[in-house]
Structures are given as C-alpha cells and as structure tokens.
Structure 1
Amino acid sequence: MDVEGTRSAVIIGGGIGGLAAAVALHRAGWTVRVQERNPAGAQAGAGLTLWPNAVRALDALGLTEALRARAAALPGSGVRRPDGRWLSRTSADQVISRHGSPQVAIVRADLIDLLASALPPECLRFGDEVTGVDPGDADRRATIHCGGRRIRADLVVAADGVHSRVRRALWPHQPAARYCGYVAWRALVPRPAAAVIASASETWGRAERFGIVPVGDDLVYVYATANAPAGQINQDELTDLRTRFRRWHDPIPALLDAITPGELLRHDVLALRPTPKRLHHGRVALLGDAAHAMEPNLGQGAGLAIEDAVVLAHAVSGSASLATGFDQDNGLDRYDRARAGRVARLTRQSHLLGRLTQTRSATVTALRDATARLVPDRFALRGFDAAAGWHPPAHR
C-alpha cells in the first residue's frame, strides 16, 4: 500500500475487523485511533478457521510471519455422520493445489493480539465508548462523540459488530440482525490423551452439528449447533450439550468431557438479511459484522472482515483526498463496488447451507447425506471457490 499524506481515521470497535482496518490504514500512512468500549478489549472468544482468502488478506497486511507463528495449518477437513462415517474429505494438498495455501486454525485471542501488536500502543483506546457519529460530507469531516469530547476524522470505520449502533443510527431503514433459528456453542479444550484427531471435521446430524478443529498439538476448538427458540437459556448448558451429542462418534464424547463450564460459550445465531446495498454513508464505512453479519456456515466471518479492511484501505488511500468530494471515482464508492456484491452473495450462500444442515426433515437429511457421499471430493472443494478464491487488490 502506498504511503501518502497523513489523514486521520477513527475505527469504532476493537475486534478482528476493526483492528485489521486500523493496521491496513496505518500501513497506508493514516493516523488511526481505535475506540473499543470494553475496558479489557474485544471479547476473546474461542477459536476460528481461516480459509486461503483470509490468509492472503493477512499477507497483504504484512502479517504472514506472525500468522505462521501462531496458527496451525490444517492437514485436512471433511464432513461426517453421527456414526462416524465420512461423507466427504479434503486434504491440505488439495486445498493448496486449488487455492495456493491451506486452511489454518487459530485461537481468536491470538489473532486479536497479532493484529493489535502491529499497531502503535497509543492507537488503542479501551473503555472509551462512542455515543454518537456525525458522518460529515464531501466538504466536512466526520465527527464522533466520545466521553463528552468531539473527535474529527477524515474517515470513520464502523466495526462495532452485529448490533452496530452506527448502522442503526445512519442506516435507519436497514433491518436489524435476525435470529436464524439455531444456537451455537464454542469452546477451547485440551486435546484428550486418547483422542485421535487427524483433521478438522464437521458432523451433520438432524438439526444438529458438531465441529472439531485441531489448533496445534495440544488444543482443540470445538463447536456445535442445534435448533432452539430464540433467547432460550438452559440452567446447565454443558449438561445439555453432553446429552445432545454423547452418542455421537469418537472423539466427540471425550471432547465433551474435557469442557469445563467456564470455557463454554453459547449464543443465538444472528445474521443481516439482506445486507446493506451501500456500505458507506458520508465519511462512515461499515465493516465486518456491522456490514454483513452472516451465519457461521462457511468459516468466513473473520476472513471477510479482514478482506474488508484490506480493500477499504486500498480504495481510500489510492484515491484523491477525501475532501475532493464523493463522486463515482471516490474511494468509498470503490469500496462499495468491491465489497457489497461479494458479501451479499456469501451471506445468501451461508444461509442456504444453514437451512440444509439445520433441517429437521428426515427425508431432506437423508437426501443431503446421500448427495454429499456421491459428489467427488474435488468437486465438493469447488463449492468454496467463491469464498476462498478471493485475492487482494493490486497495489496502486
């Protein structure tokens, strides 16, 4: 990214997308300020997988070596039935051959720390909540209201999550994120001594799923989904989880036994449908879940947020000064054109996959599994081309 005259950006939200945007803009010569309302920083979460498109985006941010030091390349992945039978399998060699790099797994807290470490410490303002935003216009800088202060900036990036206050304020006609009909559990657990985990896997049942992702030699990221009414809270989530999946194939029972209550996270699955047609308003750009929160069925939530950051910095840093006006050649318009269609398509794809995997129908479940067994693995991998095939924009 070309370094040019200093301009200022305020990023609202210190999660993966917000920090990635800060790194991208900082490397392009901008003065950046990250406003995160949580005094302890963004919530750490559990683990996640990064497809080759996300790896390329981090490479564009100059973080290849840092990622290699913290992430684990997955030797393969696949889909199974609750009895353990494989429906499809893909090796790392196949992914590398098609997309140039493997999938990798990383602890979410490690990815956040990796991004934060690429920024000057004075950029990060924790426990500093933004209470209002004036988006500005072609002739006027944007302004955020924070703790009784007004801070002006050439650009404001709203990376404040699925319940984005900025989106609600500046996109009042955009529907709020809606409940998708199922919940998700996540946890990081030590690898059980007797467990054989040769690759990542997702097991499809009827309206239930269980995922296993090795994160290095000693740690396993596990997740599960199940249909449930919105907002339902069980008194003992871990017992409920063990009851649901205790009869499923090994090593699922051992992994369930390794979870302690304090390690288990649970949340309703929410998504923005449809996504906003325009991802900027004045000098404010939406990014990550604030722009396109999707169901977690493609492993692309974090990856798309990092992509957003790379494209946004490239678009606004390769244009004339933001003060010259918001015409069709403006950087934020280019960001819209590059991102809005892509994230809308993948959001729809993830929704359709969620309907297929969370179906309650025994007939649909049987047809789904039979189809998955019949499709050659190399063709199954092509189903992820739309997501994994993305490349960063060429440097200007």
Structure 2
Amino acid sequence: MARAIVVGGGIGGLTAGIALRQCGWEVTVVERAAVLEPVGAGIAIAANALKALDTVGLGDQVRRLSRIQGVAGVRRFDGRWLTRTTEDVAAARYGDSVVVLLRARLVEILLDRLDPDVLQLGRTVQHVDPERGRVMTDAGDLDGDLIVGADGIGSLTRSLAFPGHPGPEYAGVTAWRTVVPWQGEPVRATETWGGRGRVFGVIPLAADLVYLYATDGVPAGLRADDERAELLRAFGDWHEPIPTLLAATDPAAVLRNDVYSLRAPLPAMHRGRVALLGDAAHPMTPNLGQGGCQAIEDAVVLAHVAGEGAGRVDLPAYTAARLARATALVRRSWRVCRLTRLRHPVALGLRDGLLTAGSWLFPDLLLRSMDDVLGWTPPGVPPRGPA
C-alpha cells in the first residue's frame, strides 16, 4: 500500500488525509500542536468547497449548519446597499449557497471522519526532503511515496521545496475575528465597506452565535491591549447592528492577525514527491472568502490525481489542475483588497457608484462575478453551469 505523509493538521491537511485514505492510501498526518484546541472563529464554505466535501461524504453534514437566509450583500458604512443578492438565488444558480460555521466545528467534523491512528500530534517537523520523500521530525523520520505540505502560511515545506522563492507579503491590512453570542433581532449576512482598508462583516451562525470580522489599513505588527476598543474606535460609528454587536463582544475573544498574500506565485505546486496545498501553496487575502475553500479543493483534487496509489503520483497533473486557478484567485482577492484600501473621496465615490449602478443594470452582479469560482466542480463530477 502506498503511503502519504501529511504535514499539518489544519483543514486542508485533514481533508487530504480523509480523501487519500478513501482512495486506499496509508496516511499519517503530523501536527506540531499537542492538542487540536478550538482556535479561530468562523470560516466560509462556499458552493465549490461544499461540492468538494461531497466527494468525501461530508458535504451534507456541513450544509445542515447553514444559518444564512434572505438578503445578503455589501453595504456602505452608513448602511446603504452597494450590491446584494439572496441565499435562494445563489442556491438556484450553483446548487448551493455558502455555509459559515465555527472553524473548530469544521475541524471536529473532519476529525470524526479520520481514523484516530492517522493523526500524530505534538510532532514537530524539522526537515523535508522532497526528492527522497522523507519527513524528519523530533520523534524520528517518516518516509512516504507522497508528502503533502499543508503547513500553512509560514510553510517549512514550501521553503524547502522552493528555496529562494519570495515568501508571503503583508497585504496592507490587519484583521480581527470574533464570535458573539446573540439572542437579539436576527441579523443579515453583510459586508460593509469604508475606505483605508476598513471592512466589517456580520454573519449569523448556528446556536445563536454571530461571526464578526473586520480589517483596517494599518502598518504590520501593531497590537493593542484591548482589541475590542480598537474595533470600536474604527467601526463604532458605522451602521447598526455593528456598534451593538461590538458592545456585546467579549474583549478576550477577539483575535487579530495581519493579512499576508503570496504575490509571486510558485512555479509549481509540487516538487519531487512533495505536493503543496492551501496556505502553504497560495496564501491569499480573505476578501473572496476562498482561502479555506481552495485548501479543500486542493485536497480532493490531489487525492483524485493520486488515485489508488499503485505507483508514483503524477504530481505535474496536480499542478496543472490547480496552479492557474489558485494563482488567479490570489490575484483577484488582492485586487478586491486594494479596492477596500482606497482613500481619496473621489475614488471611494466612484467605486461605490460603479458597484451600485452595476447592481441596478445587472441584478445579482455579486453572484455573476463569482461564476467561475463558485461553479467549480470536483474532477469526476459532471459540471453544473450557472442557472
């Protein structure tokens, strides 16, 4: 039986482990954390990633957690809609809409499908040899026919596979995320744009929770003793329910991370016996909500290419299937990030006016612009075009 070593126990790594096991591979997932504690906040699983999860039998389980209903879209800081659509229209167009759930809940779902003996926690990877297919850890070496680098934005595997390639660059915005218990009036799924990199998202979750995320254009590395106070400073005078939700936020529950993106794409998503996926291969800004989705896509495509593991994996076929799409989405997400960073009032007015006019002239503009992203289907599944 062919053997795969997956470096990293995040969403992409766990999905790869499940998909490869489903294809008959012997799999070991190594993760440096001693315990996979509930970390992070929310994560969006859009139509394309839901279809990818269908291939490992988990799509419907995730769909049942959806709480997005009715109107959703982009607004100005004063509350005026710039563009909007509805969940029903999205579902009719792509066969699915989007599910936003706790990242920890998605990890639980993936872990439940993975055999316990597959995951090795508390094991730090010290070196990866792409040509020999060897992973050297603090607890001994592991050899595999396939090494999957799923070790995130600071990927050691990427740096060893492509030494000298420039790493991810600061995108000019810092990001906050938190989850707020909420039993007040139902909230809509909205993203609100200001200028100077300021964005604020409100997404209802299951179990009377609301996921909040925000970005602001500030220098990298800044931190505050009270991050909720920073959010109130930046967004406290924006439209409701933003101020009310921030007032209900536990300051200790606010996470902050600077946003990085791999501006110079890798020459390939493989080298030797190593295949890279997710943030290890193509870290992107969060503006399209596709970071986790693309990691899931990568994982199921890699498993499809790997097949039943009878011999060496045709990793050039994996790169051919994934690199161009992932690179395009990194660039596209970066362009949206740049739109949110506009500062001049004339530029902001032009941006908002074009979005509003486009929505009037072309209903569901927000969806139509994502046809190539959300309409993706996994290999071996008949494609479903937009309705």
TM band (smaller chain): over 0.9
What is residue 229 of structure 1 aligned with on the other side?
219
The alpha carbon displacement at 1:354 in A equals 0.4
The alpha carbon displacement at 1:247 in A equals 0.9
2:68–2:204 Cα contact (<8 Å) kept:
no
1:192–1:258 Cα contact (<8 Å) kept:
no
Q: 1:282 aligns with which of 272, 288, 295?
A: 272
What is residue 202 of structure 1 aligned with on the other side?
191
SS across alignment from 1:297 = helix
Letter in 2 for 1:27: Q
SS across alignment from 1:35 = strand
What is residue 370 of structure 2 aligned with on the other side?
384
Once residues 71 and 99 of structure 2 are traced to their aligned partners in structure 1, the CA distance between those partners, rounded to angstroms, is: 10
What is residue 359 of structure 1 aligned with on the other side?
342
Is 1:344 aligned to 2:327, yes or no? yes
SS across alignment from 1:375 = helix
Once residues 37 and 383 of structure 1 are traced to their aligned partners in structure 2, the CA distance between those partners, rounded to angstroms, is: 39
Letter in 1 for 2:170: Y
Query: TM-score, normalised to structure 2's length?
Result: 0.94
Is 1:26 aligned to 2:24, yes or no? no
What is residue 173 of structure 2 aligned with on the other side?
182
1:14–1:42 Cα contact (<8 Å) kept:
no
What is residue 243 of structure 2 aligned with on the other side?
253
Once the two structures are superposed, residues 102-158 of structure 1 have per-residue CA deviations (whole angstroms, 9 ceiling, x without a partner) of 11111100011111111100111111111111112xxxx511111251111111100
Is 1:149 aligned to 2:144, yes or no? no
What is residue 298 of structure 2 aligned with on the other side?
308
Once residues 278 and 89 of structure 1 are traced to their aligned partners in structure 2, the CA distance between those partners, rounded to angstroms, is: 37
1:85-234 correspondence to structure 2 within 5 Å: 85-136=80-131, 141-193=132-184, 195-197=185-187, 199-207=188-196, 208-216=198-206, 218-234=208-224
2:134–2:143 Cα contact (<8 Å) kept:
yes
Is 1:331 aligned to 2:314, yes or no? yes
1:319–1:331 Cα contact (<8 Å) kept:
no
Q: Any gaps of 5 or more consecutive residues in structure 1?
A: 1-5, 323-329
Letter in 1 for 2:180: V
The alpha carbon displacement at 1:234 in A equals 2.0
What is residue 281 of structure 2 aligned with on the other side?
291
The share of aligned pairs that are identical, in percent, is: 43
Once the two structures are superposed, residues 362-381 of structure 1 have per-residue CA deviations (whole angstroms, 9 ceiling, x without a partner) of 21111111111111332331
Query: TM-score, normalised to structure 1's length?
Result: 0.92
What is residue 266 of structure 1 aligned with on the other side?
256
What is residue 370 of structure 1 aligned with on the other side?
353
Once residues 368 and 145 of structure 2 are traced to their aligned partners in structure 1, the CA distance between those partners, rounded to angstroms, is: 41
Once residues 237 and 171 of structure 2 are traced to their aligned partners in structure 1, the CA distance between those partners, rounded to angstroms, is: 26
Q: Any gaps of 5 or more consecutive residues in structure 2?
A: 383-387
Indicate the larger mover: 93-102 or 156-165. Answer: 93-102
The alpha carbon displacement at 1:248 in A equals 0.7
SS across alignment from 1:203 = strand
The alpha carbon displacement at 1:89 in A equals 1.0
The alpha carbon displacement at 1:73 in A equals 4.5
The number of aligned residues is 378
SS across alignment from 2:264 = coil
Once the two structures are superposed, residues 181-231 of structure 1 have per-residue CA deviations (whole angstroms, 9 ceiling, x without a partner) of 1100000001152x441x310000112110000012501000011000111
Once residues 345 and 314 of structure 2 are traced to their aligned partners in structure 1, the CA distance between those partners, rounded to angstroms, is: 50
Once residues 71 and 379 of structure 1 are traced to their aligned partners in structure 2, the CA distance between those partners, rounded to angstroms, is: 23
Letter in 1 for 2:91: I
